[in-house]
Structure 1
Amino acid sequence: MSIASHPIPFWLIVLIFLLALPACAFAGFRFGRFELRRAPALFAADKLPGEASLGALLALLGLLLGFTFSAVLSWREASVSAVVEEAAALGTAFLRADLLPEGTGRPLQAALLDYGRTRIVPTGFRATRESIDAFVSRSTEAQAALWPATMAALTPEVAAPLATYVSGGITEVLDAHTRRVAAASKTITSGIWMLLTFAAGSGVFIIGNRAALQGRRLSWRTLVFSLVLTAVLVTIEDLSRGSDGFTRVPQTPLVAAVADMEAAFEAPALASVSARP
């Protein structure tokens, strides 16, 4: 599985939609004016073409937008749940490691803390392929230390039930990574985006074209429709991005889990210092 990347900045996507859809309406209007001047007899009020095709196209556009919006909303919820589950798994594994003798449990807790820090997506992170590879590389490097630290901590002196309990927490941390990668790998394909963009552009183009063929001006209603359509497309793109849109996958559960782990890890050291004469 590969984490989905977004090479085009989000602000540029918003700007493209804001300009492209009204431009399609204006282009359709200008083309309709040209058709009307060239053959006015063909476009009498009682035989104006395109009404059925426009209705079918807008219905299809609504269907495409509805299914796509539902899919990206489901993916966003899965990404949010994956972050919460990973934070819970890290906290649980850290507490289970505290049951081990301090000489063996502390190195395992340190490895979990180092790994947890690498799992937090920083503010302003943009999911280009280079930044994703760098983030995953740091995380997998810290992850590679978890199982050796677990094996070193589970000495023969550790009771078998406790060893199973601790190792189960570590494997849950590793499984949480897989689930989070699976959630982050889902995105809208370029083919689907081309279909959505073509359908939206065609719809506003025909609306502008029919306005010209009816001898009317390009009204503010067409502009409002194109802006609403832009807002829907931007929202879909926003939900498909986890870190650089208007709404982002919250990292609060991981931040809180790491903060709790840091406080618990430092507490014994502070206690030992205060106990000195």
Structure 2
Amino acid sequence: MTDLLLAAESYWWVFYIGTIVVFLATVEVGFLLGRSRRGKTDPEAKSQAGTALAAILALLGFLLAVSFSIAEDRFMTRKQLVLEEANAIGTTFLRTDFLMEPQRTRARRLLAEYVNVRLEATKQPGTLQEGLKRSVEIQNALWRIADKVAAQRPRSEPVGLFIDALNETIDLHEERVTVSLRNRVPPSLLWTLYLVAFLSMGILGFHFGLGGTRNILAASALVFAFSAVMLLIVDLDQPRQRLFTVNQAALEDTHRSISKALESPPAKRGGSPDGKRRPP
């Protein structure tokens, strides 16, 4: 299933068209089977087939709703974490004012690189793992700076504020990785969803076959609708979406603010008394 999802991430249109083709073929096979048994089936059996179709379509709708809800909740969480991480990085950068040289300049440059790495990892295909690796390296470098400063000024409250902000930044990195890469829609649920959808299309075609008439419009509408919802679920579940994207505007704003601050003389830089980033 992982390979299937990765393929869907890069070739979502192939996934969508492939799903439609498979479902339409399943409807046709079901229709042929139903038509072959039409003369051997009494009205009661036809009614039972209709009942089975209604039941399995209801089950499919339920599974689609559950899967979509899980994927959507995860997507919304990812959006919120981007904002929280941007604020945490901005706060950490402001609190580097509490450090002495050369740690101050070193920490600022590392944070500038850090936010740039975070942005590039979300925009450039194939750079995700490299970006995550570099992010951890920068975190370790920043933590070594914090450890050294804390050893030099063990009772400094401003240094403690910097360490708190840095710790939150590191924690949010782990939260984003967990939500984006690890907390996915369960593969067993997706497999069940596809199995039920496959059976639903087969029973739909079988029901049409018992009636002796292809209802192409109704079958096509169901196939296209179910395929579209499945595509949305798979896309929402990907680390990097094609149809939906997690807005990185908050990180981009933080990147611009940090770049501008690095270009400005120290005297012109400002911040709140506690070094906490304030919303504009």
Please say if residues 32 and 209 of structure 1, whose CA atoms lie closer than 8 Å, have aligned partners that are also in contact: yes
- 1:266 corresponds to which residue? 263
1:180 Cα offset (Å): 1.0
Q: Which residue of 2 aligns with 1:226?
A: 223
- What is the match of residue 274 of structure 2? none
TM-score normalised by structure 2 residue count: 0.84
Rounded Cα–Cα distance in structure 1 between residues aligned with 2:267 and 2:160: 30
Shift of 1:189: 3.1
Q: Is the 8 A contact 2:112 2:258 kept in 1?
A: yes
Q: Which residue pairs with 2:42 in the alignment?
A: 44
Q: CA deviation at 1:7?
A: 2.4
Q: Distance in 2 between matches of 1:98 and 1:149?
A: 14
Please tell me the residue identity of whatever aligns with 1:28. G
Q: Deviations over 1:42-75 (max 9, x none)?
A: 3234541412222221111111111111111111
Question: What's the secondary structure of 1:241's corresponding residue?
Answer: coil
1:208 aligns with 2:188: no
**In structure 2, how many angstroms separate the alpha carbons of the residues matched to 1:150 and 1:4?**
41
1:112–1:5 CA distance, 2 compared to 1 (3 A): farther
Q: How does 1:111-122 map to 2 (within 5 A)?
A: 111-120=110-119, 121-122=121-122
SS at match of 1:98: helix
In the alignment, structure 1 residue 140 sits paired with structure 2 residue 175? no
What residue number does 2:28 align with? Answer: 26
Deviates more, 1:106-115 or 1:220-229: 106-115
Shift of 1:104: 3.3
The corresponding residue for 1:171 is 167
**Which secondary structure does the structure 1 equivalent of 2:152 belong to?**
coil
Give the equivalent residue in structure 2 for 1:125. Answer: 125
The equivalent of 1:274 in structure 2 is none
Does the 8 A contact of 1:108 with 1:153 survive in 2?
Answer: no
Contact 2:117 2:134 in 1 (8 A): yes
CA contact (8 A) 1:100 1:158 kept: no
122 and 177 in structure 1: CA distance in 2 versus 1, 3 angstrom threshold: closer
> Any conservation in 2 of the 1:242–1:249 contact (CA below 8 Å)?
no
Contact 2:92 2:166 in 1 (8 A): yes
- CA shift at 1:165, angstroms? 1.1
Pairing 1:5-154 to 2, within 5 Å after superposition? 6-8=5-7, 9=10, 10-36=12-38, 40=39, 42-48=40-46, 49-120=48-119, 121-125=121-125, 131-154=127-150
Do 1:5 and 1:132's aligned partners in 2 also have CA atoms closer than 8 Å?
no
- 1:67-92 per-residue CA deviation (whole Å, 9 max, x = no partner) reads 11111111111111111111110000
Q: What is the RMSD computed on CA atoms of the aligned residues?
A: 2.5
Bigger shift: residues 255-264 or 180-189? 180-189
Partner letter of residue 125 of structure 2? F
What percentage of aligned pairs have identical amino acids?
24
1:246 corresponds to which letter in structure 2?
L
Deviation at 1:6, TM superposition (A): 4.0
Note the residue ranges of structure 1 that are not aligned, 5 or more in a row: 272-277
Gaps spanning 5+ residues in structure 2: where?
A: 269-280
Amino acid corresponding to residue 63 of structure 2 in structure 1? L
Contact (CA 8 Å) 1:90, 1:116: kept in 2 or not? yes
Give TM-score scaled by structure 1 length: 0.85
Q: 1:224: Cα distance to partner?
A: 0.6
Map residues 190-205 of structure 1 onto 2, 5 A cutoff. 190-205=187-202
CA distance in 2, matches of 1:245, 1:229: 18
Cα shift at 1:95: 0.4
Task: Tell me which of 249, 254, 260 is aligned to 1:257.
Answer: 254
Conserved 8 A contact 2:122-2:128: no
Equivalent in 242, 253, 257 of residue 245 of structure 1: 242
Q: What residue identity is the alignment partner of 1:166?
A: F
